Amino acid sequence: MKIRFWGVRGSIASPGPRTVKYGGNTTCISVETDGQYQIILDAGTGINVLGQHLLKKLPVKCALFITHTHWDHINGLPFFVPIFIPGNTITVFGAFEPVYKKNIGEILTNQLVYYYFPVREAELKATMRYVTLKERQTVKIGETKVTGILMSHPILDFGYKVEYNGKSMFFTGDHEPPHNIYTPEDEYYKEYEELITQKEQAIIDFISGVDVLICDSSYTTAEYASKKGWGHGTFDSCMELANKANVKNLYFTHHEPMRSDDDIERIYNEIIQTRGNDKVKYFLAQEGLEIDL
């Protein structure tokens, strides 16, 4: 299994001299396994660069798994060059949107209307397929298994586990550890706390022992106080999850767009110095970085 980062920023692309090292593109990760399909997690602006890379070998067959449909995770899709080339096949997987009652295909093709983009979905030359997933539904792509679990975000969000040949990885998408919306004095505080505990344990059990955990670490713990409820995690919450689930390697991603390369490294180094006894190995996600399992 080979994992590669094509975009590691959160919220909005942030190119420029301050972000050259870790990259300014928004979320996109590729996973290569048995070679039948290119597995892609999310279609942020990083998918544009991935698309150009894939043109080296045609036809392109992709299984694209969308964690959720916020802009920074989908707005690279119209610029994914393989969708314009006959003979290519792109199958897009994602969740049903329960508020407006739209499936993944209906949501994504909304980007391809004339007032947003000059090419309509009907004009794409590749074969486009859309599959709406349920939680814990496993998709088999050759010998590879991809399974989603519901995470914690202001929109329905799947984290995906990819398993192949005894190796495994998990990507949280955007994830904020669940917090109690009641105060201890409220009638429903205890009941809600039990639900939170159950949900946290379900995620821990689901990812237990994975070789690689890629986790939303947008904020520091100090920053989180003013951003609670925005749907993102912290460096500390990611490390806590990794240790509880006994994962082998944790990669921090979804870097805050205002952070420079120096800012990211400073925060990382400060935090790592406090975690000397952890068995988990910690890394910063970086555009172009490859992980071989």
Instruction: Reply yes or no on whether the pLDDT at 145 is more than 90.
Output: yes
259: Cβ contacts below 8 Å, ≥ 6 apart: 267
| pLDDT on residue 276 | 73
The model carries a pTM of 0.96
Average pLDDT over every residue of 229-251? 97
User: CA dihedral defined by 211, 174, 10, 161, rounded to 10 degrees?
Assistant: 30
**Angle subtended by helix axes 261-272 and 235-244, to nearest 10:** 50
Give CA separation, 17 vs 29, 48, 73, 183, in Å.
Answer: 23, 20, 23, 45
Average pLDDT over every residue of 135-157? 96
Both tokens assigned to 242: 């990794």
pLDDT band at 275 (very low <50, low <70, confident <90, very high): confident
Residue 150: give its domain's CATH number. 3.60.15.10
Q: How far apart are CA 42 and CA 102, in angstroms?
A: 18
Count of structural domains within the chain: 1
Instruction: Reply yes or no on whether the pLDDT at 170 is more than 90.
Output: yes
Average pLDDT over every residue of 119-141? 96
pLDDT digits (tens, 9 = 90+) for 13-46: 999 999 999 999 999 999 999 877 899 999 999 9
User: Most confidently modeled of 70-84, 178-192, 264-278?
Assistant: 70-84
Average pLDDT over every residue of 35-58? 94
User: Which residue range forms the structural domain that includes residue 85?
Assistant: 2-292
C-alpha 134: how far from chain center = 17
Both tokens assigned to 281: 């190995």
Q: How far apart are CA 119 and CA 189, in angstroms?
A: 50
Q: How far apart are CA 286 and CA 252, in angstroms?
A: 9
In degrees and rounded to multiples of 5, residue 129 shows phi and psi of -125, 145
